[in-house]
Amino acid sequence: MRRGNLKIRLLIGAAIVIFAIVKRCNSKETNPYTGRVQTINMTSDQEIAIGLQSAPQMAQQYGGLYPNSEYQAIVDNVGQKLVNSSIAKQTPYKYEFHLLADPNTINAFALPGGQIYITYALFSKLQNRDQLAGVLGHEIGHVLGRHSAERIAESEYWQTLSTGASVGADMGGLVNSYGQQTLLTNGRGDELESDELGVKFMLDAGYNPEEMIGVMKILKAAAGPSRVPEMQSTHPDPENRIEKIKEAIEKYKKASN
**DSSP state letters, 202-243:** HHHHT--TTHHHHHHHHHHHHHGGGPPPGGGSSS--HHHHHH
Residue 17 pLDDT: 58
pLDDT of amino acid 149: 86
Name the nearest CA neighbour of 235 among 251, 250, 220, 213.
220
What own/partner pairs with CB < 8 Å and gap ≥ 24 does 223-232 have? 230/188, 231/184, 232/184
Q: Can you give the residue range of the structural domain that contains 224? A: 2-256
Distance in angstroms (rounded) separating the CA atoms of residues 253 and 192: 18
| pLDDT value at residue 254 | 81
pLDDT in tens, the chain (257 residues): 455 576 776 666 566 656 556 666 666 889 999 999 988 888 999 999 989 999 999 999 999 999 999 999 999 999 999 999 999 999 999 999 999 999 999 999 999 999 999 999 999 999 999 999 999 999 999 999 999 888 887 777 556 656 655 654 555 454 445 445 544 444 688 899 999 999 999 999 999 999 999 999 998 888 766 554 444 445 677 788 999 999 999 999 887 76
Residue 175 confidence (pLDDT): 42
pLDDT for position 65: 96
Angle CA 251–76–117, to nearest 5? 80
Number of domains in the chain: 1
Helices of type H across the chain: 2-26, 44-61, 69-84, 120-123, 129-144, 147-169, 172-205, 211-223, 238-256
**What is the reported pLDDT for 172?**
46
Give residue 48's Cα distance to chain centre.
15
pLDDT of residue 3: 56
